[in-house]
Structures are given as structure tokens and as C-alpha cells.
């Protein structure tokens, strides 16, 4: 891993909502497939990517799908202990602790993905690390109780989608979405 850079992966609807009652407000199979691909793919087959998530996001993943396979899972929590999570899952009490943990794994890690929820996105987007946002813009209204912090376009620049990110509009269960990418170069 070179100098740490964060990659936020998030899907948000018209009101920038991301969740309701501890779950996703929608079921978008093609977005789940994009999430899996972008967070799992590495150029170096010897390395893995890290996914950093909050406790509620961890708990929102169906038990049979967690930890997320092929990725190093780090869960942020001040209350969970080793007895609450499988052996191959790392716990961190602060975002900085999570970043120090990633630093200690340096040669085995390729990219760092921040996968929610709201306060973890907040830490990534407003912290001092370079940050890229992969935003699936869900073009519909859903009732939500959890929201993505505002993407300040004075800080984040919309970039052309890299070749790994489709530019087309998707439709799943009657809901359309497309993926946009933002980058923050300096803090
Ligand atoms: N649309 C999307 O792309 C997307 C992605 C992810 C999640 N979601 C949705 O968002 C909701 C979950 O998000 P959420 O915001 O409620 O919760 P969350 O961020 O996943 O989890 C919150 C908990 O994580 C721990 N935590 C968070 N930041 C921390 C930090 N900096 N240091 C230490 N601990 C930290 C705390 O646990 P303790 O109380 O144990 O300290 C906190 O109570 C669900 O509805 C989920 O489906 C949507």
C-alpha cells in the first residue's frame, strides 16, 4: 500500500438517504454486484483490500455473508469485543485505530474501502486522508433514517469514471441508478 487513500462506496437516493431500520431501503442486485467487484478486485493477487465499517453496518449484513469474503473486515465499535465477531474480523475503537491497523498490515493490503454507515462516511470524507467516493445515485425517493453527509463540491471534484466503473444507467426492480465518482485530492 502506498500513502493511505480512502475509497468510500455508498448508494444514496434522492434525499441522500442510505438506510432505514438498520437495513438498505432498496434491493438493487446490480449495485450489490458492483459493490462486491469494486471492493474485492486487486491488481496484485497476493494482496487484499480492506473494508472498514461501523457496527450497525456489520450487523446489517446477513450472517451467512459476513465477514465479507476475500476482503479484510474491520469493524468500528466501542462496545463489541472479540467474542462477538468471528476470529478473522478485526475490531477498532476509533477510525484512527482502524487506519493504524491497516498500516500494520501494509504489505498485504492494496486498497481501503469505507463502506458505512453515516459516521464512518463522515470520518472518511471530512478526515485528512485523500478520499475517493463511488456514489451509486439511486434515482428515486425512499423513506430513510440514515443519510450520507453532503458531498461538498468545493472539496470533492466529480471525475470521469475510471474504467472499472460502468457509466451506464442501471435498472433493478423498477429503480434506476447510475454511478458517479468524486475525488478529494487535498484536505
Ligand atoms: N446505502 C449504503 O450504501 C449503505 C452502506 C452502509 C450502511 N447502510 C445503512 O446504514 C445503516 C447503518 O448505518 P449507521 O450510520 O446507523 O451505523 P454504522 O456507522 O454502521 O454503525 C454505528 C456504530 O458503529 C460504531 N462506530 C461508528 N463510527 C465509529 C468510530 N469512529 N469509532 C468507533 N466506533 C464507531 C459505533 O458502535 P458502538 O456503539 O459499538 O460504539 C456506532 O454506534 C443501515 O441502515 C445500513 O443498511 C447503507
- pLDDT, tens digit, for every residue of 158-182? 999 999 999 999 999 899 999 999 9
Query: Does pLDDT of 24 surpass 80?
Result: yes
Question: Strand 109-114 relative to strand 6-12: parallel, antiparallel, unpaired?
Answer: parallel
| Residue 118 CB–ligand 1 contact under 6 Å | yes
Kindly give the distance from the C-alpha atom of residue 150 to the centroid of ligand 1, in angstroms, as a whole number.
17
Q: Distance (Å, rounded) from C-alpha 187 to C-alpha 180?
A: 21
Q: Cα of 75 to ligand 1 centre, how many Å? A: 9
Helices (H), 107-173: 118-126
Phi, psi of 56 (to 5 degrees): -65, -35
Statement: residue 129 has pLDDT above 80: yes
Beta bridge mates, 183: 132, 157
pLDDT of residue 31: 98
Average pLDDT for 98-125: 96
C-alpha dist (Å) from residue 74 to 41, 45, 142, 143: 17, 20, 29, 29
pTM: 0.97
- The predicted structure's pLDDT at residue 186: 63
- The secondary structure element, H or E, covering residue 92 is strand 90-92
Q: Residue 165 maps to which CATH number? A: 3.40.430.10
Residue 151 in grid coordinates: 458531498
Asked if the model's pLDDT at residue 2 lies above 50, the reply is no
Distance (Å) from CA 76 to ligand 1 centroid: 8
Residue 3 has pLDDT above 90, yes or no: no
Whether residue 54 has its Cβ less than 6 Å from ligand 1: yes
Residue 54 CA to ligand 1 center (angstroms) comes to 4
Q: Is residue 50 part of a domain?
A: yes
The per-residue pLDDT for 124 is 97
Domain that holds residue 53: 6-184
Taking only the tens place, the pLDDT of each residue in 44-84 is 999 999 999 999 999 999 999 999 999 999 999 999 999 99
Ligand 1 contacts CB of residue 122 (under 6 A): no
Instruction: Report the separation in Å between the CA atom of 79 and the middle of ligand 1, taken as the mean of its atom positions.
Output: 13
Number of domains in the chain: 1
Quick check: is 1 in a domain? no
Q: What is the pLDDT of residues 145-162, one digit of tens each?
A: 999 999 999 999 999 999
Pocket test residue of 12, 56, 114, 134 for ligand 1, highest count of atoms within 8 A of CB:
56
Q: Is the CB of 60 under 6 A from ligand 1?
A: yes
In short, whether 108's Cβ falls inside 6 Å of ligand 1 is no
Over the chain, what is the mean pLDDT?
Answer: 96
Q: How many angstroms does the Cα of residue 120 sit away from the middle of ligand 1?
A: 6
Classify residue 145: in a domain, yes or no. yes
Amino acid at each position: 500500500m502506498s500513502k493511505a487513500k480512502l475509497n468510500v462506496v455508498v448508494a444514496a437516493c434522492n434525499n441522500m438517504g442510505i438506510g432505514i431500520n438498520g437495513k438498505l431501503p432498496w434491493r438493487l442486485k446490480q449495485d450489490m454486484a458492483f459493490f462486491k467487484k469494486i471492493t474485492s478486485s486487486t491488481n496484485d493477487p497476493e494482496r487484499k483490500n480492506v473494508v472498514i465499517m461501523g457496527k450497525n453496518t456489520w450487523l446489517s449484513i446477513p450472517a451467512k455473508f459476513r465477514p465479507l469474503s476475500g476482503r479484510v473486515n474491520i469493524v468500528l465499535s466501542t462496545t463489541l469485543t472479540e467474542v462477538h465477531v468471528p476470529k478473522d474480523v478485526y475490531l477498532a475503537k476509533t477510525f484512527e485505530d482502524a487506519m493504524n491497523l491497516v498500516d500494520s498490515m501494509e504489505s498485504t493490503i492494496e486498497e481501503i474501502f469505507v463502506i458505512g454507515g453515516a459516521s464512518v462516511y463522515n470520518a472518511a470524507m471530512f478526515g485528512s486522508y485523500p478520499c475517493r467516493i463511488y456514489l451509486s445515485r439511486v434515482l428515486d425517493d425512499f423513506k430513510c433514517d440514515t443519510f450520507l453527509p453532503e458531498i461538498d463540491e468545493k472539496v470533492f471534484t466529480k471525475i470521469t469514471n475510471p474504467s472499472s466503473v460502468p457509466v451506464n444507467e442501471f435498472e433493478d426492480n423498477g429503480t434506476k441508478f447510475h454511478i458517479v465518482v468524486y475525488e478529494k485530492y487535498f484536505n
